[in-house]
Each structure stands twice: as C-alpha cells, then as structure tokens.
Amino acid sequence: MSPPISSRCARAAAVVGAAAALAACDGPQAALDPAGPDAEAISTIAWVMFGGAAIVFIVVLVAVAWALRARRAREGRGLIIAGGVVFPLVVLTALLVFGLTVSSRINAEPDDALTIRVTGKQWWWQVDYLDAGEPVLTTANDIVVPVGAPVRFVLTTDDVIHSFWVPSLGGKLDMIPGRINETVLQADVAGAYRGQCAEFCGDQHALMAFTVAATDDFAAWLAAQQRPAAEPVTDLEARGAALFLENGCGACHTIRGTDADGTIGPDLTHVGGRPTIAAGTLPNNQGTLAGWIADAQAIKPGARMPSFDRLAGPELRALAAYLASLE
C-alpha cells in the first residue's frame, strides 16, 4: 500500500531540502567548505554555536515535555534559578569566550603581505596589485593570489556600497564610499574560489561576482600580467585590434601597449586569460565575448557597457578573436 499523499509530499520535500542543503556544503563558494584559516575559524564557530544551540534546544524540549506530563505542580524556585539564570549565564558566557577567542585569530595582520586593492563599481570589480601603496598591475574581476600566504585586501568603492565576500576564504566586508576597509584572506588549497557582492548595489547586483584563484606560481603570473598586451598574430586578430580602436572601445577600456587607455571599464590587457567575463557572469570564450559585445544590455541591463549591435558578423568575430588572444 502506498503511503498517503501528504506523507509522500513531506518525504519528497525532505529529500529536496536535504539535497539543497548539501548542495551548498562544498564547491567553489561555500562557507561550510573552508579553504583558508579565516574561513576555518568562522566555520568552527558556526558549528560550535550550532551544536550548543541544538543541545540547549533539546534540554528545553525535554523540560517542557516533563512539565506537561507531571501529575502535580512542583515548587520550582530552585529549578527556575538553576535553569533560568545559572544555566544560560554559564553556557552563554562559555560560548561568548570561545567565539571571541577563535575570532581573534581572524584577520591577523601580517607584516609583509601582498596587498591588493579592490574597488567596487556598478557592477564589476577593479583590482589593483599594490607595491608600497602604488599600483603595479591593474586588472579586473578575476583575482589571482599565492597559495598559503596571507593577502591584504584594501577595499573601497567608486559609487555605492558593495560588499566583498569569498565564503570559502573568509568573512565579508563592506566597501563604503569615502572609506577604506581592510581584510586579510589566505587560501591554503590551490584552486579557484568564487566571490560575490554581498550588499545590494543596484539592478545587476546579482551579476557582480568574481573569482579568486590561488596558484603556486604567483610570481610568474604577476610578471606575465605586467607585460603589455600580445600583438595580434592572425589577420582576424589584427582586424579585431583595428576594430577595437575604430569603434571607440578604448574610450572606456585600457589595453596596455595600444592606444586604448580608457579607465571607465575593466582593463582588457590580458582579458583572454581570465576565466570569466562581465564580472563572473559568463564563462570566457570567443562565443561569450562576441555575445557580450553584441548584446551587453540584454545580458546585464543598466551596465555601462553598450550593446554594439551594428557590427557585421565577421567584425564581431574579429573583435572576439582579438580579445581572446590577449592572454
């Protein structure tokens, strides 16, 4: 005999709920799957708090059940003092001391950490690698850091409040106009982690993401990124390079080594080597580059990138091929 519909629905809901809950437990953007010391501390605190709350919850439920089943009223003065004053005082104090102790490990300030300034913009992230406070490399959206080393993130914004959050690496921190906030993150496992804006910042807030890739070969990456853009090799790429300037793309975008020196949009000097485009919105390939150029306003309405919808097919392909070649 099949179970009644309500119980089947409940079972299905439980399965779906558990799957949804587990789905968030790992992957590139998961506070429950920490990949660095800060995220580890936050995760530990969360689990201990959860465990503590669960125990208190069970004790209270048992007390309620016992009270409901009791035959006669009891003189409960001692019980009230023990359960209502002493118990919460002891338990909450212990949890507070534990939480403060562990959280003091978060954001430990290193002396000579790599410093990266991230500036929130509607709706992307400008990324400047600093040396003695001066930028030595400007890029966008896809951040690369060394494995196992603390990195100081200097966070600010050009427009509204944004919030910088990489759940796998640590807690979130707001980017506030006119202020500079600092946080230190460390990735102990090589890999790519996803971050996203965690403070509503306008229409395309949901499409304001970024990646943090931790690599063993950071020095080589930095040196390669500091070089000017690759020269076009094929005829198609050369045509794309010319079209880039003819269509005025250089008014907003910089490609170092060319006449394009705009600063309104992301630096594209090495855009071909990034994993995503449009701030974590799309994977990066010639197809998505062409689609983004042709129809940015459909993909991310309100973004400052216009849709270049007057380009002929081969022109669009040439631009995409050129940008993809800028590794």
Partner 1 sequence: MTVARRLVSTGVAASLLLAAGCDRDAAPQTRIVADGDPGHGRQLIAEVACGVCHIIPGVRGAAGTVGPSLAGFAERNLIAGVLPNTPSELARWVRDAPSLVPETAMPPMPLSEDEAVNVAAYLLTLR
Residue 189 Cβ vs partner 1, minimum distance, rounded to whole Å:
23
Residue 309 Cβ vs partner 1, minimum distance, rounded to whole Å:
8
Question: Is 232 within 8 Å of 203 (Cβ atoms)?
Answer: no
Residue 289 Cβ vs partner 1, minimum distance, rounded to whole Å:
8
CB-hemisphere CA count at 13 Å for 58? Answer: 5
Residue 252 Cβ vs partner 1, minimum distance, rounded to whole Å:
20
Burial class (CB in 10 A: 0-12, 13-18, 19+), 238: middle
Q: Residue 152 or 317: which CB sits closer to partner 1?
A: 317
Which range of residues in 20-28, 54-62, 103-111, 311-319 is near partner 1 by CB under 8 A? 311-319
- For residue 248, state whether it binds partner 1 (rule: CB under 8 A): no
- For residue 306, state whether it binds partner 1 (rule: CB under 8 A): no
- For residue 320, state whether it binds partner 1 (rule: CB under 8 A): yes
Which range of residues in 9-17, 37-45, 153-161, 310-318 is near partner 1 by CB under 8 A? 310-318
**Residue 155 Cα distances to 119, 192, 228, 237, 289, angstroms:** 6, 20, 26, 36, 28
- For residue 207, state whether it binds partner 1 (rule: CB under 8 A): no
For the CA atoms of 273, 197, 157, 180, what is the dihedral angle to 10 degrees?
A: -100
The pair of three-digit structure tokens given for residue 154, joined into one six-digit string? 């200097």
- For residue 288, state whether it binds partner 1 (rule: CB under 8 A): yes
- For residue 285, state whether it binds partner 1 (rule: CB under 8 A): yes
Q: Residue 256 or 317: which CB sits closer to partner 1?
A: 317
- Three-class DSSP category at 316: helix
The pair of three-digit structure tokens given for residue 234, joined into one six-digit string? 């094929």
- For residue 300, state whether it binds partner 1 (rule: CB under 8 A): no
Question: Which helix or strand (DSSP H or E) is residue 153 part of?
Answer: strand 151-157
- For residue 289, state whether it binds partner 1 (rule: CB under 8 A): yes
Q: Can you tell me which of 316, 322, 325, 326 binds partner 1, judged by CB under 8 A? A: 316
For the beta carbon of residue 156, count every other beta carbon within 10 angstroms: 19
Q: Residue 183 or 276: which CB sits closer to partner 1?
A: 276
Q: Cis ω on the peptide bond leading into residue 47 (within 30° of 0)?
A: no
How far, in Å, CA of 28 to CA of 311, rounded? 36
How far, in Å, CA of 60 to CA of 36, rounded? 36
- For residue 297, state whether it binds partner 1 (rule: CB under 8 A): no
Interface residues toward partner 1, by CB under 8 A: 282-283, 285-292, 294-295, 298-299, 311-314, 316-317, 320-321
